[in-house]
Amino acid sequence: MKKLEVVIKDEHEEEMGREMLSGIYGVIQKYGCMGVSVRADTIVNQGCIQIPEFLKQRKERRG
């Protein structure tokens, strides 16, 4: 299983996101893959730094 995550903050983020999703759908069709879930969300900028989940899990193991 492979999970990809891309976060874009740019004046062209909507257009870039659409082009990336178009590429993803093209690859899915090329390989005939059926077990795929594609999701796109708009993130509200809250002016704070988000800590990736894999770093949170690492901290919990130490503590």
**Spacing of C-alpha 29 from chain mean position:** 20
pLDDT at 31 over 60: yes
Q: In the structure, what pLDDT confidence band is assigned to residue 36 with cuts at 50, 70 and 90?
A: confident
Query: In whole angstroms, what is the distance from residue 19 CA to residue 26 CA?
Result: 11
Buried b (16+ CB within 10 A) or exposed e, 2-37: eeeeeeeeeeeeeeebeeeeeeeeeeeeeeeeeeee
pLDDT digits (tens, 9 = 90+) for 38-60: 888 887 776 776 777 877 775 56
pLDDT given for residue 27 in this prediction: 92
More confident residue, 12 or 43: 12
Angle 10-41-61 (CA atoms, 0-180°, nearest 5)? 100
